[in-house]
C-alpha cells in the first residue's frame, strides 16, 4: 500500500515537473512573436472585406496587444514630455495611442491580394533586444522591408518599433507628438490622435 502511494506521489511530482518544463519551452521567442503577428495580419486581410473596419479592429486588437508593448511605445513617442504628464494623462495617452495602433493596422491591412510575409533573419542588439528582419511580398509590386525591434517584457518579447523600408514609425510619431505637446498641449494631442482614429474608421 505504501509503495502504491509512493508511486502515485512520484507520478504526480513527475507530471508537475514535466508540465513546468513544457510551459517554459512554450514561451514564445521574438521570432515567433513576429511570425504569429504577421500570420494574424494575413488572415485578417483575407477576411478583410467581409469583416469590415470594425471586424478587422476586433480581430486585430488581441493580436496587436499580445505582440506590441503599447504602454512602452506610448512613453517613448512623447520622450521627456512623459514625465510632465499626470498619472491620469499618462493613462489616457496610453489608451488612445493603443487604439490608434490597432486602428492603423485595421485600416492598412484591409484586403488580400496574394501578399505574404517572410522572415529573413534576426539579430541581437547591444542593448539586449532583438531585431527581426522580414519582408512583405506584394504581387506585381516591390516587396516592403520590415525590421521589427523587440525587447523582453516579463517572460515574453514585445515589439517596440517597426522600421518599414528604412523609415522608423517610432521616430515619425515622436517628432510629431512631442511637437504638438510642446506647442499646443496635452488635450490638443489627444484630439489629434482621436481624429486619426476616426479617419481610419471612415476610409
Residue with cell 498641449: 185
pLDDT in the model for residue 26:
60
Which residue has cell 484630439? 191
In the structure grid, which three cell numbers stand for residue 118, read together? 517572410
Distance of CA 94 to the CA centre of its chain: 14
Q: Is the pLDDT of residue 8 over 80?
A: no
* Domain contains 158: yes
Instruction: Count the alpha carbons within 13 Å of 9 in the hemisphere toward its beta carbon.
Output: 6
Q: Residue 25 falls within a domain, yes or no?
A: no
**pLDDT of 18 strictly over 90:** no
Query: Where residue 151 falls among pLDDT bands split at 50, 70, 90?
Result: very high
Domain boundaries, position 61: 30-202
> What pLDDT, on the 0 to 100 scale, is given for residue 182?
93
| Residue 170 placed within a domain | yes
- pTM for the full predicted model: 0.84
> How many independent structural domains does the chain possess?
1
Is residue 4, in this structure, part of any structural domain at all? no
Residue 171 predicted with pLDDT over 70: yes
Residue 145: closest CA among 162, 157, 160: 162
Q: Residue ranges of the alpha helices (H) in 117-168? A: none
Q: The domain that contains 77 carries what CATH number?
A: 3.10.450.710
Amino acid at each position: 500500500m505504501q509503495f502504491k502511494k509512493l508511486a502515485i506521489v512520484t507520478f504526480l511530482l513527475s507530471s508537475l515537473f514535466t508540465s513546468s518544463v513544457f510551459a517554459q519551452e512554450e514561451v514564445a521567442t521574438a521570432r515567433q512573436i513576429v511570425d504569429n503577428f504577421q500570420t494574424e495580419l494575413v488572415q485578417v486581410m483575407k477576411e478583410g472585406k467581409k469583416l469590415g473596419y470594425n471586424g478587422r479592429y476586433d480581430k486585430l486588437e488581441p493580436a496587436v496587444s499580445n505582440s506590441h508593448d503599447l504602454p512602452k511605445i506610448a512613453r517613448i513617442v512623447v520622450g521627456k514630455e512623459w514625465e510632465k504628464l499626470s498619472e491620469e494623462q499618462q493613462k489616457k495617452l496610453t489608451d488612445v495611442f493603443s487604439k490608434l495602433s490597432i486602428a492603423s493596422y485595421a485600416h492598412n491591412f484591409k484586403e488580400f491580394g496574394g501578399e505574404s510575409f517572410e522572415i529573413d533573419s534576426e539579430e541581437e542588439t547591444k542593448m539586449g533586444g532583438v531585431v527581426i528582419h522580414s519582408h512583405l511580398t506584394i504581387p506585381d509590386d516591390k516587396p516592403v522591408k520590415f525590421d521589427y525591434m523587440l525587447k523582453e517584457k516579463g517572460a515574453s518579447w514585445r515589439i517596440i518599433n517597426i522600421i518599414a523600408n528604412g523609415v522608423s514609425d517610432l521616430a515619425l510619431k515622436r517628432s510629431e507628438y512631442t511637437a504638438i505637446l510642446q506647442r499646443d498641449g496635452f488635450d490638443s494631442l489627444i484630439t489629434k490622435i482621436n481624429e486619426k482614429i476616426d479617419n481610419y474608421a471612415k476610409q
